[in-house]
Structure 1
Amino acid sequence: MRNGASNDQESPHAPAPVPGTLMVDLSQDRVGEFRGEWCGQWSLRPIGGGVEWTVAPEAARPAEPIERLRAELARANRRSRGELL
C-alpha cells in the first residue's frame, strides 16, 4: 500500500512554475519564459519579449542549464545586432 496514491491521481499535471522561470515547450522545441496559467494552459513568452504562446503543462519542462545559457546568448546576440530595444 502506498500512502498518498490518491493525490497523484487528483493532480493532472505539475504545479505551475514561478513566473519568469525558463521552460522548454517540448511540442515546438522552444525555450520561453513562464508568464502564467490560464484555462489549464501555460503561457510562455520568448526570451527578451515577443508574442506569447500557450502550451499544455504536460508538454513543458524546466529548461536545463545549457538550454538557459543558449537562450540568454541568443538574446544577447539579437540585442547586439539591434534587433531588440
Structure 2
Amino acid sequence: MVVDVRRNRVGEVMASAGGRLALRPPAGGREWEAFPCEVRPATASDELRVKVTEVNDRGRRERGMA
C-alpha cells in the first residue's frame, strides 16, 4: 500500500511500466497512474483511514437500500 501524495489517495501498486506505477484503490475500482517520486509507503494511520471510509460507505449504501 502506498499514498499518492499528489492526489492524497491510498492505493495498491498493481504494476510498474514506463517509469510509472499503476495504482488501484484497496477496495477495488478504477486504476490511476503515478510517478514513483509521487508516492510514499502507507502508514498504519493511512490504512485505517481507508478501512473507516469503506465501512462508512457500505453503511450509507445499506441505509439507502432500506
Provide the C-alpha distance between the structure 1 equivalents of 2:51 and 2:10, rounded to a whole number of angstroms.
10
CA deviation digits over 1:17-51, x for unaligned, max 9? xxxxx110011111111111121100111121111
Letter of the 1:77 partner, please give it. Answer: N
Aligned with residue 70 of structure 1, among 37, 44, 49: 49
Q: Which residue of 1 aligns with 2:33?
A: 54
Q: State how many pairs are aligned.
A: 62
What stretches of structure 1 of length at least 5 have no aligned partner?
Answer: 1-21
Q: What's the CA shift for 1:82?
A: 3.1
TM-score by length of 1: 0.65
Taking only aligned residues, the RMSD between alpha carbons, in angstroms, comes to: 1.5
The equivalences for 1:3-82 within 5 A come to: 22-82=1-61
In the TM superposition, what is the alpha-carbon distance from 1:72 to its structure 2 partner? Answer: 1.3
**Cα distance in 2, alignment partners of residues 36 and 49 from structure 1:** 15
Structure scoring higher RCO (CA < 8 A, sep ≥ 6) equals: 2
Moved more, 29-38 or 55-64: 29-38
- Identity of counterpart residues, as a percentage? 39
Q: Which has the larger strand fraction? A: 2
Is there any run of 5+ residues in structure 2 with no aligned partner, and where? none
